[in-house]
Amino acid sequence: MSKYDQLSAHYQTIHHFNHAQAMLGWDAAANMPAGGNDARSNAMAELSVHVHRLSTQPQLEDWFGQAEQEALTGEQQASLREMKRQWQQATVVPEELVQAQSMAGSKCEHAWRTQRQENDWAGFEKNWKEVVALSREEAQIRGDALGVTPYDAMLDKFEPGTSSASLDVLFSEVKLWLPELIEKALAKQRSETIIMPTGRFSTASQKALGLDVMKLLQFDFTRGRLDESVHPFCGGVPSDVRITTRYDEEDFVQALMGIVHETGHARYEQGLPNAFAGLPVGEARSMGIHESQSLFFEMQIGRSQPFISHLSRLSAEAFNAHQDPVFAEENLQKIYTRVEKGFIRVDADELTYPAHVILRYEIERDLINGVIEHTDVPALWDEKMQASLGLSTKDNDKNGCMQDIHWTDGAFGYFPSYTLGAMYAAQYKATMTNTVDFDAAIQSGDLSPIFQWLSDNIWSQASLHTTDELVKRATGETLNAAHFKKHLEGRYL
């Protein structure tokens, strides 16, 4: 057996344990009773340590050295590169730190669910302090190993090849044109009449509607399912993808588009190549590319006029409201392209969303690099919210710095992925329309031509290429934010 084959078998084993871990995580969010949390946290921490031990076995260094001397195909070389990348990421962090982070993250996240509702910053801060301290320790270790800043080392986990220097340039450009674009869109919408949903939209009807929309988006129900959780997410594994949403019986709008978004994540997972199943090279390229799929589904497909036409028909049927003007195509289009300055990122519209992301990026960058302390975050959040969206979060931390799940378990470096994803999605659409009649495909109800393009250019490529190579092969250029700006101007002005 070649060393490459031995490494492949070893990483398949790690994948099986990660599969179990993913299902335990999904269950904790979607099904587990509150009393099960302590035991579940212990079980998941134990699994984390086991995976970490498998990922850091001493013989792996020799195996990588020998495998690099073997005659490998181009795809095998890419596979070896991705295995080695994961190995380097794992070996640099000591086991005790992995276990401590798992425990601190579980504890902080579980308590956060209640603390957020109660606006209890003081209670949250006690748990979060530990999460931040451990994340900084991890970032310092990774940064030293990679020869980059602590925050850049955390970015590398989610966005290989991206640096805060490049993000600073990208986001400072966006900050130059975004505020004016938001004000123009708000001014344009002031003269429009819009009918907002009122009444009760039962969870059962909303779920049935969501499942119909998932069918339209060609989700494979033999390899995945839809459930409910506090914070919508896509989890599981490519052969069994679990997506969740949350329902509000007074408003069907958010949950429905949330399902479209998570279905984008899920279709990417379901579209990853079987040939590399269980191997690092068979995984999604980066979180930015993952978000580009969910945001392609939500923003490029989901809020397009022909798709809103389907939503108009399906939602009127689901709620038995054929005469209700709320569900008229034109009205739904206004609802789904409504611009509003709000506190909550997950409820933000497409236009104000980047402001939410940039704020979080600037805070977490400085927090992990030690420029600010965790106790500075509420005041900084308030200051940046006032500067970017004119809203104050003073004494309102549940709708400020406590609103996201990401920081509760130390996922620092993730937030930029959302705006990178939106930019990539706009770039794919600009390229795709050269060969695919985008609107006609959606109108017909058979979106196969669109999904075929995504499959050929993104899904089937998994992690065979770097992010820049992947995007350049698909669109002819690396990330170009001009496509995003043009898309927003076209839709909102």
What residues are labeled active site? 262
* Residue 165 burial by Cβ neighbours in a 10 Å radius (0-12, 13-18, 19+): exposed
Residues 67, 69, 74, 77: is their CA dihedral positive or negative?
A: positive
CB contact set of 169 (below 8 Å; sequence gap of 6+)? none
Report whether 467 contacts 160 (CB < 8 A): yes
Are residues 229 and 339 in contact, defined by beta-carbon separation less than 8 angstroms? Answer: no
Cα gap 24→341, rounded to integer Å: 37
CA–CA distances in Å: residue 342 to residues 282, 381, 388? 38, 14, 11
What's the rounded Cα separation, in Å, for the pair 325 and 329?
9
CB 318 within 8 A of CB 209: yes
Lookup: tokens for 15: 């994948």
Q: How far apart are CA 270 and CA 220, in angstroms?
A: 8
With a CB cutoff of 8 Å and minimum separation 6, the contacts of 248 are: 254, 255
For residue 244, give the DSSP letter: E
